[in-house]
A and B are shown apart, each in its own frame.
Chain A
């Protein structure tokens, strides 16, 4: 199809869709006047019931825990697909480039990273990991949770890449470990849900005593789910970063970092 024909096809379709969208928006409550029955109810009952002060997290992992299981599986499957797609690609390229890989070698690439960047980067790794663990474990109390903290943990890996070398990054995060972390996190979430079925008689039912409001272990099984999700997200995103970096480095035929 020519571009002109496509634009002519797009114009009425987009205009129609946008008209529907605008028409739909006119039926919404005025900005700032929303009265959601579920939201209002949760804002009232969640803290007395679950003792977790972050309602977004107690909704995500407890009241909507079953949906989050599906969300986790989306993440798991998507990263699995990504790994399958990119590794097939890598296999082909490695065969092609095996010949001159030996000649070029990977030495002499280190000098590309400046000392300042390297020192700053390695100094950042520790705080980044601590911040990530803090966000995962304090999800029940303050803004954060497994998803957000997991992403912060995965960025620690990128800081290592930025500061040091690709080889150093591979050393601190061997692929089997990342894969195992991702799979363990996904499985743990399902198993904790199963604990609800066994102990409380319902899948994904909170079966642990919620404790006292404001303590680190409040919220029953919510901190456990946060850790499971944090592990999975950290594993999944590190795996994705690493697979993409592998591709970049293969395409450049480069063992170091920019």
Chain B
């Protein structure tokens, strides 16, 4: 089942996009966005995996050990940080929307603007 991690990544991506497009609540929409991003973590880590490789930390393994790719792990770290901040910002925007329009339903936001 060597394609399984890729299948999981694609599934999370698709399901998340579907959730974002059909969401009826801004908080739910933000959570769906995190599902999309979870797909990118799985994808990055799956790409970098080397069969039977160890973590790229040489504190207690010999220098010539086989390790997984450190670059994609670094990219995943960046991904996580960006996601956390974007989610925080989007939640603040959702609170503003709720305050201004009295609803969290994206469909009603435009209608109530008048």
Which residues on A are within 8 Å of B, measured CB to CB?
3, 6-7, 10, 14, 17-18, 21-22, 25, 28-34, 36, 38-40, 42-43, 46-48, 53-56, 59-60, 64, 67-68, 71, 74-75, 78-79, 81-82, 85-86, 88-89, 92, 141-143, 145, 147, 214, 233, 236-237, 240, 243-244, 247
Q: Contact check, B4 vs A31: say whether CB atoms are below 8 A apart.
A: yes
Considering the complex, which residues of chain B in the window 15-58 have a beta carbon less than 8 Å from any beta carbon of chain A?
17-18, 21-22, 46-52, 55-58
Which residues of B are found within 8 Å of A74, using beta-carbon distances?
A: 81-82, 85
Q: Contact check, A31 vs B96: say whether CB atoms are below 8 A apart.
A: no
15 of the cross-chain contacts (CB-CB < 8 Å) are A21-B14, A22-B10, A25-B3, A28-B6, A31-B2, A42-B70, A54-B57, A54-B59, A56-B73, A60-B78, A74-B82, A81-B92, A142-B57, A236-B85, A244-B88
Residue among B77, B85, B99, B107 with the most chain A CB within 10 A? B85
Cα-based distance from A153 to B77 in the complex (angstroms): 18
Cα-based distance from A21 to B69 in the complex (angstroms): 22
Q: Contact check, A60 vs B74: say whether CB atoms are below 8 A apart.
A: yes
Q: Contact check, B93 vs A85: say whether CB atoms are below 8 A apart.
A: yes
Q: Contact check, A10 vs B85: say whether CB atoms are below 8 A apart.
A: no
Interface of B is mostly: helix
Cα-based distance from A64 to B78 in the complex (angstroms): 11
Given A36-B71, A143-B57, do A244 and B49 touch, yes or no (CB 8 Å)?
no
User: Of the candidates B3, B59, B89, which one forms a contact with A78 in the assembled complex, judged by CB atoms under 8 Å apart?
Assistant: B89
Distance between A249 CB and nearest chain B CB, rounded to angstroms = 13
Q: Contact check, B56 vs A67: say whether CB atoms are below 8 A apart.
A: no
Distance between B101 CB and nearest chain A CB, rounded to angstroms = 13
Q: Contact check, B21 vs A31: say whether CB atoms are below 8 A apart.
A: no
Q: Contact check, A59 vs B70: say whether CB atoms are below 8 A apart.
A: yes
Q: Contact check, B17 vs A14: say whether CB atoms are below 8 A apart.
A: yes
Q: Contact check, A34 vs B50: say whether CB atoms are below 8 A apart.
A: yes
Q: Chain B: which residue is nearest A15 at the CB level?
A: B14
Distance between B48 CB and nearest chain A CB, rounded to angstroms = 6
Q: Contact check, A43 vs B22: say whether CB atoms are below 8 A apart.
A: no
Distance between B92 CB and nearest chain A CB, rounded to angstroms = 4
Q: How many residues of B contact A (CB 8 A)?
A: 51
Cα-based distance from A95 to B86 in the complex (angstroms): 29
User: Of the candidates B50, B55, B71, B92, which one forms a contact with A32 in the assembled complex, judged by CB atoms under 8 Å apart?
Assistant: B50
Cα-based distance from A48 to B78 in the complex (angstroms): 25
Q: Contact check, A17 vs B17: say whether CB atoms are below 8 A apart.
A: yes
Which residues of A are found within 8 Å of B69, using beta-carbon distances?
A: 34, 36, 39-40, 43
Q: Chain B: which residue is nearest A25 at the CB level?
A: B6
Which residues of B are found within 8 Å of A236, using beta-carbon distances?
A: 85
Cα-based distance from A10 to B6 in the complex (angstroms): 23
Which residues of B are found within 8 Å of A68, using beta-carbon distances?
A: 78
Distance between A71 CB and nearest chain B CB, rounded to angstroms = 5
Cα-based distance from A7 to B4 in the complex (angstroms): 28
Q: Contact check, B14 vs A82: say whether CB atoms are below 8 A apart.
A: no
Given A21-B10, A55-B58, do A31 and B49 touch, yes or no (CB 8 Å)?
yes
Which residues of A are found within 8 Å of B74, using beta-carbon distances?
A: 56, 59-60, 64
Which residues of B are found within 8 Å of A7, using beta-carbon distances?
A: 22
Which residues of B are found within 8 Å of A237, using beta-carbon distances?
A: 84
Given A32-B49, A60-B77, A147-B77, do A55 and B21 touch, yes or no (CB 8 Å)?
no
Q: Contact check, A36 vs B48: say whether CB atoms are below 8 A apart.
A: yes
Q: Contact check, A33 vs B51: say whether CB atoms are below 8 A apart.
A: yes
User: Of the candidates A10, A17, A31, A86, which one forms a contact with B92 in the assembled complex, judged by CB atoms under 8 Å apart?
Assistant: A86
